[in-house]
Amino acid sequence: MRGRTLLGVAVAVVIGGYLTTRFVSHGYFYFASYVILQYIMLATAWNILGGYTGYVNFGSAAFFAVGAYTSIVLIKAFKAYFIFLALAGGLASALLGLGIGYLTLRLRGVFFSIATLALAVVLQTAVINWGYVGGARGIYILRARSVPFFSSYTEFLFFMMVVFAVLSVAAAWWIENSWVGRGLAAIRDNEEAAECMGVPTLKLKLFATTVSGFFMGLAGAPFPYYVTYVEPSSAFNLDYAVNSLAMPMIGGTTSWAGPVVGAILLGAAQQIATVTISSAWNLLIVGVVLVAFVILAPEGLVGLALRLARKRGA
Amino acid sequence: MKRTGRFWIGGWMLTAWLAAAALLSGPWAPPAQAAEKPIKIGFGMALTGGLAANGKAALLSMQIWAEDVNAKGGLLGRKVDLVVYDDQTKPASVPAIYTKLLDVDKVDFVVSGYGTNLIAPAMPIVMERGLVFMGLFGLAVNEKFKYPGYFQIMPAGPEPALDWTRGFFEIAAQQKPKPQTVALVGADAEFAINAVAGARENAKKMGLKIVYDKTYPPATVDYTPIARAIKATNPDVVFVGSYPPDSVGMVQAAHEVGLKPKLFGGGMVGLQYAAFLTKLGPKLNGIVNYDFWVPEPTLNFPGIEAFLKKYQVKAAKAGVDPLGHYLPPWSYAYLEVLGQAVTATKSTDQKKVAGYIRSHEFTTIIGKVKFGSNGEWATSRVLQIQFQGIKDSKLDQFHRPGKRIVVYPEQWKSGKIQYPYSSAK
């Protein structure tokens, strides 16, 4: 029943997204929403590994950039269709997740995090020296002038991001509510105990890194079309790593709703700050809010809301 | 309770989203306006992040332009308002900023922020709407877009990457005996790679043998190994394409290891700023480097002195580059071009203004400006200057002529080159 209702909501959001493109002609709405949707995906993907499994990934930017650069290669080599780019970007990033998972998941806690941080540095250096995708010089990707069913490419990008974001949240919901999620939670709470109880920890962790990687890559794949000029420092921007970690922390890491709430709140706050405060202050937002939440509401907004609701119910 | 809680949040989010969409789709009817509503010029500028120091200086001079214009009664009798947002030196923030400016703030014109990375993401938006777009210090942005409404104020010339370094190599070719070998070194980042690529081609054209051709990562801290490796190849000419922090690193390292080619410099960004001029002081002597404007008598265009006076007073208060010789005059000039075109066409019609800019020459505080077909300057005005006679690290000396001598091109030459490099110390 619950699954069906959620499916209904998901379909409604996608249809709502499409209808939005029929009625809203503001480019700003699409670009601002695009950024927020992108962060919903990144935060949700991060949470699959970081929140459910307890493995903190500092290298989100690397997964994001792999998605973006896979797109660039396919656009350059085959002028591939958008949907292929997106899938390929996701798959490349998923493979990276699998590989990294296999190599590093034997590392625990902070050592795993350091390895993911190093991954971003290594990949960025590789891209800087890879002339085909523009290298350090960057590369221009031109958007198509028109797309069928949409009045501009921006609206098309926005709609695709709605679909992708819904997919990623649905995946997170499924993981959370299936035996996989329970297995991941067992790993988070006590990996040795889980292993002893017969939880296939390595397989589950590899599953988590792969799925997490896939959605980060999927979030990055449309980036070249969004920004039209990609160079390594913007694709590997620290923002992606910081935000994809901060958003679930603020929203709450234990449920699928947490990263979504965190991404919408923090993403919107950043968008608003950019066009209102216009000073160094807006850079402080993530930091201050994150510190405040870690201290005041370690379970995030969703955790806080549930706790309050439970108290009232009791 | 738990379940309802989550659904509640989901529903709330959906409602908020739809509300936002509905709000934006509503009739954004502009309030009834008198004919005198201001002309709004919008842009994103790097006020935080990596390019903030330059971005702030640029903004300051743009504000001076607006004040100057408004003091004379504005444009077409309307006051000029600047609408600026901080792009945080992040290309990803640019599309949202420009669509906000156009859709919500309803600006009449947009101009670019500072630098290639921050100009390019605005191009598709500007092109979709057919707007005139003045660019500030972008290197060959229009090469791929080929947009007729784009005009870029940095005087790199019709072939930006090549023209940028041509002067340096022509100087080399004019010397007797003619230098034979060249070392090329640059940072692994957008501008430097382009500059070195141009230098490579120019070096080949001039028949110089390339004995060293390497890049270094942008985060390099110690430049002495690089300087030593270059020294080992004993080149006659050393061309450096670098960003501010590495320019300083390279100059210091060259002194430390005693690197003494016959010609040194070329494409070092940063040696135009007051902070680095005073930091390096006498170590700059003899270096030949690109520049766009220096206070030499040949470049004393009408209006530049008055502008710098105003700028320097404000800069001291704002804590930005106290000289203002590098970017500020240009960020003033690109608005001057736009303003003059609006005045001449008596219109804010994008096509008319763009057409006028394409076909006319403009007189600005940085001299006469004429754009070519790709929106770059019709002819390059990249100067090569040589640092001469710097005795100490005081800032005052750089306000006056005589320390940064224009040695290329012939038209703007203000003195003779001291050659070889080592003789200028």
Q: What residue segments make up the domains of chain A, in order of their start?
A: 2-237
The Cα A6–Cα A128 span in angstroms is 43
Residues 6+ apart with CB under 8 A from B113: B43, B44, B45, B46, B55, B87, B94, B119, B122, B136
Host H or E run for residue B265: strand B263-268
Chain A residues touching B84 at Cβ < 8 A? 278
Which candidate from B87, B99, B116 shows the least CB-CB separation from A31? B99
Other residues' Cβ atoms within 10 Å of the Cβ of residue A263? 29
pTM of the model: 0.85
Q: Are A100 and A115 in contact (CB under 8 A)?
A: yes
Chain B residues touching A5 at Cβ < 8 A? 7
Q: What is the pLDDT of residues B214-272, one digit of tens each?
A: 999 878 899 999 999 999 999 999 999 998 889 999 999 999 999 999 999 999 999 99
Q: Does residue A108 or residue B315 have the better pLDDT?
A: B315
Q: What is the pLDDT of residues B65-76, one digit of tens each?
A: 999 999 999 999
Provide CATH 3.40.50.2300 ranges for chain B: 39-156+302-370, 160-298+382-424
- Which pLDDT score is estimated for A303? 85
Task: Return the closest-CA partner of residue B88 out of B121, B130, B123.
Answer: B121
Q: 3-class DSSP state for residue B368?
A: strand
Whether A80 has a pLDDT exceeding 70, the answer reads: yes
The Cα B109–Cα B133 span in angstroms is 8
Put simply, whether B195 touches A (Cβ < 8 Å) is: no
Host H or E run for residue B268: strand B263-268
- Quick one: B160-298+382-424 is in which CATH superfamily? Response regulator (3.40.50.2300)
Check: complex ipTM more than 0.95: no
Q: Are A312 and A265 in contact (CB under 8 A)?
A: no
CA distance B30 to chain A (A): 15
- Distance spanning both ends of chain A, measured CA to CA: 26
Is cis: bond before B420, omega within 30 of 0?
Answer: yes
B355: its two tokens:
């057409």
Q: Which of residues 351-370 of B touch A (CB under 8 A)?
A: none
Q: Where are the alpha helices (DSSP H) in B233-346?
A: 244-257, 274-280, 304-318, 328-345
Task: Return the closest-CA partner of residue A181 out of A32, A54, A9, A272.
Answer: A54
The Cα A91–Cα A72 span in angstroms is 14
Chain A residues touching B9 at Cβ < 8 A? 257, 261, 302, 305
Chain B residues touching A138 at Cβ < 8 A? 116-117, 120, 190
**CA of A152: which chain B residue's CA is closest?**
B128
Stretch among A38-42, A86-90, A105-109, B387-391 having the lowest mean pLDDT: A105-109
Put simply, whether B3 touches A (Cβ < 8 Å) is: yes
**CA of B128: which chain A residue's CA is closest?**
A145
The Cα B212–Cα B229 span in angstroms is 9
The Cα A15–Cα A26 span in angstroms is 19
Q: What is the DSSP string of A198-216?
A: T--HHHHHHHHHHHHHHHH
Residue A128 to residue B13, Cβ atoms within 8 A: no
Residue B91 to residue A25, Cβ atoms within 8 A: no
Which amino acid makes up residue B260? K
CATH number attached to the domain at B39-156+302-370: 3.40.50.2300
The Cα A167–Cα A41 span in angstroms is 9
Average model confidence (pLDDT) for chain B?
89
Q: Which of residues 109-128 of B touch A (CB under 8 A)?
A: 116-117, 120-121, 123-125, 128
- Which pLDDT score is estimated for A41? 96
